Amino acid sequence: MITFHSGAHEGHAPASEYFRGELVPCFEKPARAQYVLDELKARGHDIREPVVDSSGVLARVHSPRYLAFLESAWSQWIALGAGNGDVQPFPSVWPVRTLRDDVEPVNFIARLGLYSMDNGTPLSAGSWAAAKGGADSAASAAQLIANGARSAFCATRPPGHHAGADFMGGYCFLNNAAVAAQSLLDSGCKRVAVLDVDYHHGNGTQSIFYERSDVLVVNLHGDPMTEYPFYLGHADETGAGQGAGFNLNLPLAAGTDARRWFEALEVGCARVQAHRADALVVSLGLDTFEGDPISKFTLASSDYLRLGERLQGLGLPTVLVLEGGYAAAELGVNACNVLEAFG
């Protein structure tokens, strides 16, 4: 399977993040992608740099105001003080209920809060280039599918599925799965399905397509009553307006085992088949692994072979996009197990 990967990801290397109220070393780090690349190379996969500029499709997925802020955020930050290049900026205030989000403040930290859903998505000097490289990879994979390929993989970081039209969060800045889906539609697909198997609900992907009927979004994830992102991902969220009935959430309790997880996957796959999609985008989160340090499902490495086989059984041209997975040393094996079983 051809893999797209941008070397620009290495520039996104913040030192720390907030996790459960404490400043800790980042879980989402460059080594994640390196483990995947090493395993891909060991197994003889074709790895390519992205060949498509995603700028046009990004403007249809994300708001212009958000894109302008994200692209210039680091330069704005370092311009505020001589020592800011060595300091990570974090938001400290957010426009929650009754507060306005239509006016962009002048204060940088206030603007950062306007475009953030949490304070666990740290910026660094190379964040924009890394995120843009991931989006370019997703658009490149979609072009490959449009040209007749059966499948393509995006070994991208940072991940993307928590990023909404106008906000970052959950380590995500640009929504790579949404870029792939929109690119497939732009290339002639009438209907696309997004199947998100990350431990954490893909709230950004859901919100981007929630009122659309051309993209079915199916999420299989930890129950938001106890698991991040908490405020989206419930079973009663089924779409709105023209998108009514085109969103399916399958929340599962923390500690869910492989048997129950694959039962839920079957429900999701049945819904994808009923959509009669022309192509599939898989948000391939691998933090469902039993050894993941911040997630609570119990899939073993061998279970990802079964996942790849089931995805292949859908019989759809497929773009697979790497999302979460923070047991970094095992990430490459788990990702490649999916890809090789897919075929």
For the chain, the average pLDDT equals: 97
pLDDT given for residue 20 in this prediction: 84
Handedness of CA 220, 232, 73, 25 (dihedral sign): negative
Indicate whether 21 pLDDT > 90.
Answer: no
Query: Can you tell me the mean pLDDT for 246-255?
Result: 98
Measured between its terminal Cα atoms, the distance across the chain in Å is 7
**Rounded to an integer, what distance in angstroms lies between the CA atom of residue 25 and that of residue 19?**
9
Residue among 169, 157, 236 at smallest CA distance from 203: 169
The pLDDT of residue 78 is above 90: yes
Specify the pLDDT at position 43. Answer: 96
Beta strand ranges found along 157-230 (DSSP E): 192-196, 215-222
pLDDT tens digits, residue range 194-203? 999 999 999 9
Indicate whether 193 pLDDT > 90: yes
Contact predicate 92/113, CB 8 Å: yes
Q: Which residues are catalytic?
A: 162
Per DSSP, the three-state class of 341 is helix
Confirm if 208 and 164 have CB atoms less than 8 A apart.
Answer: yes
Indicate the residue type of 64. Answer: P
Distance CA 222, CA 299 (A): 13
For residues 33 and 36, give the distance between their C-alpha atoms in angstroms, rounded to a whole number: 5
- Would you say the pTM of this structure is higher than 0.85? yes
Q: How crowded is residue 292: how many other Cβ atoms within 10 Å of its Cβ?
A: 24
Domains of the chain: 3-342 (3.40.800.20)
Q: How many CB atoms lie within 10 A of CB 294?
A: 16
Whether residue 225 is predicted with pLDDT greater than 90 in this model: the reply is yes
List the structure tokens of 108: 């940088």
d(CA 190, CA 310): 23
How much of the chain exceeds pLDDT 90, in percent?
99
pLDDT at 15 over 90: yes
